[in-house]
Amino acid sequence: MDKILEVQHVWKYYGSLLANEDVSLYISQGEIVGLLGPNGAGKTTLVKQIYGELTPNRGKIVVLSKKPTDRKIKKLMGVIPQEVRPYLDLTVWDNVYYMGRIKGMDKRTIVEKGEELLRKLDLYDKRNTYAMDLSGGMRRKLLIAMALINDPKFVILDEPTTGLDPEARREVWDILLKFKKEQKSMLLTTHYLDEAERLSDRIYFINRKILMEGSPADIKKKFADWYEIIDYESGKIMKIRGEDELKKTIATLNGKFEVRLPSLEEVYLEVFKNAS
């Protein structure tokens, strides 16, 4: 599978402060990759280097076989930075249209692609509404439309659902999964562990350096030295170590019960507790 992004042994300093330490990661075509870590872990610094706002002190970043600062590559990327909002005094359509023009698209293509995107994102009926009059969820959808207007091959989403209510977050998830089916490759940073588990093919835990990498299932398996059994008949919750003991316990149960591995949130807390 083609690699859309390769980060190779990247180091980044702010003066004497080390923000990224020997970071290596990759994203293949059609993947959503989650980047997880606490505040101050270097996520946004790394993301800014990937879309070319910052330059590594050491190491190499390759996006679609070229440097992130290459003007042609910038036209093949879509970016939703962490702290950004649409132009509030422009309509939905004008935000999308002018972003297309900024990215060098011709007017006819913008109209065709823009109308298609607004319909997919359920924004078409709002196309003449000023961005200032949209809900938080609608503004996030508009930012996604602005990031995708140039039909990018690689999309960077830095905390895309921060501040949204649960329903709006789910709507954004559905949108991103639809675009994944179209083979869009995405890098996602988030503090929501359920979001990372739902969307990501693979996850990197980062705290200045990469601490762990793998699919959500693989990461949980690495910590699967215990199982949790919820016995709905008695209301008891039991932690069992080892498969043999698990089988013995299950054999004693009557009625409904649930067996689960540690959640991704529990793994996250364990990893970063040990790293601190």
pTM recorded for the entire structure: 0.82
The CA distance from 190 to 176, in Å, is 14
Please indicate, yes or no, whether residues 65 and 161 belong to a single structural domain of this protein. Answer: yes
3-state secondary structure of 255: coil
Domain co-membership, 139 together with 269: no
47-69 pLDDT, tens digit each: 999 999 999 999 999 999 999 99
Let me know whether 12 and 58 are in one domain: yes
Parallel, antiparallel, or unpaired: how do β-strands 185-189 and 32-36 relate? parallel
**Together in a domain, 109 and 141:** yes
Q: Which residues contact 275 (CB under 8 A, 6 or more apart)?
A: 207, 211
Percentage of residues in the chain having pLDDT higher than 90? 53
Domain boundary among 132, 151, 170: 151
d(CA 194, CA 174): 14
Last residue of a domain, one of 212, 233, 262: 212
Could you give phi then psi for residue 164, rounded to 5 degrees?
Answer: -90, 150
Indicate if 61 and 194 belong to the same structural domain. Answer: yes
What would the mean pLDDT of 251-273 be, rounded to a whole number?
A: 84
Domain identity same for 58 and 176 = yes
Same domain, 180 and 246: no
Is residue 177 domain-shared with residue 146, that is, in the same domain?
no
Residue 2 and residue 60 in one domain: yes
Total tally of structural domains belonging to the chain: 3
- pLDDT score for 97: 96
DSSP one-letter code for 220 = H
List CB contacts of 103: < 8 A, sequence separation 6 or more: 75, 149, 150
Q: For the chain, give the mean pLDDT.
A: 90
Domain membership of residue 104 as a residue range: 85-151
Based on the domain organization, do 7 and 69 belong to the same domain?
Answer: yes
Q: Which two tokens stand for residue 268?
A: 């996250």
Q: 87 — phi, psi (to 5°)?
A: -70, 110
**Average pLDDT estimate for 177-186:** 90
User: Do residues 197 and 91 both lie within one domain?
Assistant: no
pLDDT tens column, 119-150:
988 899 999 999 999 988 889 889 989 998 99
| The one-letter amino acid at 120 | K
Residue type, 13: Y
Residue 1 in this model has a pLDDT that exceeds 70: no
Are 208 and 177 part of one and the same domain? yes
